Amino acid sequence: MPKNTEQDRLKSPLAKARGHGSAHHGADHWLHQKITAIANVPLVIWLVYSIVDLKGASYGEFTAWLAAPLNAVLMILLLISTLYHARLGTQVVIEDYIASPCLRTAKLIGIRLFFFAIGVACIFSVLKIALGQ
């Protein structure tokens, strides 16, 4: 961290804060986290209820259940909402705890690619079962 120089001490509080403040994305990020958290509640309740209801089901029974249009759509919505929520939370942790700008940027890019790839793979799997291929 740079030491305070005479010139830094003479700067106004606004001049000191410039370039270190909000990029006006914090409110959107916070809102997206809250919306996905709220969306996850009924979706997770549906999933838990479904898993309990499918207790002891065979692979064929499970795939038939997932192939039902409503279940496939709800599963895809759950995957999208959960993975997006996880990416937002992971982003906050990285932004708060990784000090090196280069490493922080690399990790932020990495988590976006990771969660995107996992989402595509999961949705592909659901669609493959749902479409019977």
Domain positions in the chain: 26-130
Percent over 90 (pLDDT), the chain: 77
Element (H, E) at 55: none
Q: Would you place residue 3 in the very low, low, confident or very high pLDDT band (cuts 50, 70, 90)? A: low
| Class of the domain covering 26-130 | mainly alpha
User: What digits encode the pLDDT tens for the residues 85-133?
Assistant: 999 999 999 999 999 999 999 999 999 999 999 999 999 999 999 998 6
pLDDT over 70 at 65, yes or no: yes
- Which has more pLDDT, 39 or 21? 39
Q: Are 55 and 64 in contact (CB under 8 A)?
A: no
Task: Tell me what percent of the residues of the chain surpass a pLDDT of 70.
Answer: 83
* pTM of the predicted structure, to 2 decimals: 0.78
